[in-house]
Amino acid sequence: MPAQPLEGITVVALEQAVAAPFATRQLADLGARVIKVERPGRGDFAREYDREVKGASAYFVWVNRGKESVALDVKDATDRALLGAMLARADVFVHNLAPGAVDRLGLGAKTLRAAHPRLITCAISGYGDSGPYREKKAYDLLIQCEAGLLSITGSPEAPARPGISIADIAGGMYAYTGILTALYERERTGAGTDLSVSLLDALGEWMGHPYFAQAYGGAGVVRSGARHPSISPYGAYRCGDGGQVFLSVQSDREWVALCERVLRRPELIRDPRFADNPLRRTHDEELTAELEACFADHTAEGLIALLDGAGIANARLRDLAGFSAHPQFDARDRWGEFGSPVGPLRGLLPPVEVAGRRAPMRPVPGLGEHTDAVRAEFSGPVPRPGNPGPA
């Protein structure tokens, strides 16, 4: 198999939970060597979040594929020296310890980069390394609350948590892209850099649309269940067989096509209630009644065919079994197999496809699986410039 884009890059990760592991897994998927440092005995506490994957944690399996696990007590002098030797030969150091914790361990960004100018450090925190929330504990749902996401998610009657760890994912993705940017910059300057990402900042960026709508539009965004808060028609609509179809109209051209080719109601095009998107959103309940009256003559499958023929975006509401069996994934050979301590597992290939190369899909490590090998490897002298070794 051709070399992966990040082959030869070594990442040392003092990480736990989701955000930092999600970032480093993306690097591993591109060929980087990721050495995950875990606590002896219990390891990353995400290993114990659940037992859904043949007895292993679904969270841990998801974000830790392709890494090496080294169990170290970073407060022990011998283990701390081994970690120092690993960092001396690393390209990237990622951690999501509490603010100040790495400094107390002697692993702060200024200290490390004074010793290793080519090293890229990345700190992931809940609220950043300053301000009144600096010391506040931060978990995904709590960040969603503080960022205002729950205030606009759910039904008009009650807020709801999105079904995935969206704050952790946002923070992890910004850390990942920041590290890639720093690696690119180092190619030009020869110097590493210090990166920091807070989950509140990351999710705050994703709150851009509701913020601007609130700050400058007055009314702001309201909770609208499975309907879009700003665009209409955009959501789920009942059909004659009791099924539901999701559809979206995002331009006047599509609105005309929906009225003429699907609803067979051209008079609705210039109806004063529906003449443009803001009006349609204002009169969404009336528009829904008009659509569902027309859709009562169709089955869900028949309506989907009609919408496809008219060029109107639509979707079925799939459950997780439907996701797992999605024909688009199968047609594009998007599933792969990887190893784990509980046996072979099936998972999706990484979203970024590199032409001519297939992601390695390396195993999920057992706790401390690579400790002895890494201890033996890094107990020797640091490679001199020109010798094999990343930094």
Q: How far apart are CA 5 and CA 31, in angstroms?
A: 6
Q: Which two tokens stand for residue 71?
A: 């169990």
The amino acid sitting at 1 is M
Q: Which one of the listed residues 228, 283, 326, 370 is annotated catalytic? A: 228
Q: How far apart are CA 121 and CA 138, in angstroms?
A: 21
Cβ(127)–Cβ(138) below 8 Å: yes
Q: How far apart are CA 283 and CA 266, in angstroms?
A: 18
Q: What is the DSSP string of 200-262?
A: HHHHHHHTHHHHHHHHHHSS-----TTS-SS-SSEEEEE-TTS-EEEEE--SHHHHHHIIIII
Cβ(41)–Cβ(18) below 8 Å: no
Q: Which distant-in-sequence residues (6+ apart) come within 8 Å of 353 by Cβ?
A: none
Buried-state track 207-244, b at ≥16 Cβ within 10 A, e below 16: beebbebbeeeeebbebbeebebbbbbbbebebeeebe
CA 181 to chain centre: 18
Cβ(53)–Cβ(342) below 8 Å: yes
Q: How far apart are CA 180 and CA 183, in angstroms?
A: 5
326 catalytic? Reply is no
Residue of 376, 344, 362 whose CA lies nearest to 67 = 362
Q: Is the C-alpha dihedral spanning 120, 14, 87, 28 positive or negative? A: negative
Catalytic residue annotation: 228
